[in-house]
């Protein structure tokens, strides 16, 4: 008989087995891979936004040329930059063995999501609709949890959208979840999210 009391990963989006630690190896490896993909240029630009020398990608395009006054620091963005450059790097080694591994994975994922939203917004201009349609026919095109779907969109389509944003779209009923995992976490089909992003770009929709 299967052990129904096996400890599960404690990240908010996962219910994979994690019998010896608070986080499964999949989540630990995923966050480290994502962390390694952050470029020096990304961190430099994030710092420039934090100190008011650049505007976030989410600022309306008509306002892109405006700047905050000298010394006007966006402290929440500065904190994200500091976490990514000073706090999280020292916690990546031997991550699954850490007692606070789930908190590290969750916190680092949150900061990376915020950083990419600040730097890139929700950009759907990288591929043409035909190219996207081709991607949609791929055998790997399955429903995924928001963090996995966020990474899939970045890797496969060049689209940056945060896991937190996907979760909010499901919560407010904008997109329908495909199913829930055994642990009750939602999964979303990539096509559902992509259709929402396309509708956002069309006039009067």
Q: Look at residue 205 in the predicted model and tell me its pLDDT.
A: 29
Q: Look at residue 64 in the predicted model and tell me its pLDDT.
A: 46
Q: Look at residue 143 in the predicted model and tell me its pLDDT.
A: 83
Residue 143 lies in a domain: yes
State the pTM of this model: 0.58
Q: Look at residue 202 in the predicted model and tell me its pLDDT.
A: 40
Tell me how many domains the chain contains: 2
Q: Cα–Cα distance between 44 and 133 in angstroms, integer?
A: 34
Q: Cα–Cα distance between 157 and 138 in angstroms, integer?
A: 12
The values of phi and psi at residue 186, to 5°, are: -75, 150
Rounded to the nearest 10°, the torsion over CA 132, 135, 137, 139 is -160
Residue 17 lies in a domain: no
Q: Cα–Cα distance between 16 and 183 in angstroms, integer?
A: 9
Residue 81 lies in a domain: yes
Residue 168 lies in a domain: yes
For residues 83 and 167, membership in a common domain is answered with no
Q: What is the pLDDT of residues 80-105, one digit of tens each?
A: 999 999 999 999 888 888 889 999 99
Q: Cα–Cα distance between 193 and 139 in angstroms, integer?
A: 17
Given 66, 93, 120, which residue is the final one in a domain? 120
Residue 66 lies in a domain: yes
Residue 15 lies in a domain: no
The values of phi and psi at residue 17, to 5°, are: -60, 140
Q: Cα–Cα distance between 22 and 94 in angstroms, integer?
A: 13
Q: Domain of residue 116: give its range.
A: 25-120
pLDDT by position in tens, the chain (length 205): 444 567 888 888 888 888 888 899 888 988 998 899 899 999 999 999 988 888 888 654 444 444 444 446 788 888 899 999 999 999 988 888 888 999 999 999 889 988 988 898 755 445 555 555 555 555 456 788 898 888 888 877 777 888 888 988 998 888 888 878 777 788 888 878 877 876 665 443 2
Q: Cα–Cα distance between 85 and 70 in angstroms, integer?
A: 23
Q: Cα–Cα distance between 68 and 48 in angstroms, integer?
A: 11
Strand partners, 179: 187
């Amino acid at each position: 008989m299967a052990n129904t009391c096996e400890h599960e990963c404690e990240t908010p989006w996962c219910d994979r087995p994690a019998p010896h630690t608070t986080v499964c190896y999949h989540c630990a490896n995923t966050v480290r891979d994502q962390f390694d993909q952050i470029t020096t240029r990304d961190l430099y630009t994030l710092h420039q936004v934090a100190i008011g020398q650049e505007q976030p990608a989410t600022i309306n395009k008509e306002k892109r040329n405006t700047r905050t006054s000298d010394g006007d620091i966006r402290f929440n963005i500065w904190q994200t930059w500091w976490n990514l450059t000073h706090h999280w790097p020292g916690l990546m080694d031997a991550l699954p063995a850490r007692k606070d591994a789930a908190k590290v994975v969750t916190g680092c994922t949150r900061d990376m999501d915020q950083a990419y939203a600040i730097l890139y917004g929700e950009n759907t201009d990288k591929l043409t609709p035909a190219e996207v349609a081709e991607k949609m026919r791929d055998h790997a095109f399955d429903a995924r949890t928001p963090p996995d779907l966020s990474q899939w969109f970045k890797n496969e389509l060049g689209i940056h959208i945060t896991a937190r944003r996907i979760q909010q779209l499901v919560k407010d009923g904008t997109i329908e979840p495909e199913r829930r995992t055994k642990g009750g976490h939602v999964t979303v089909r990539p096509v559902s999210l992509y259709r929402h992003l396309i509708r956002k770009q069309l006039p009067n929709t």
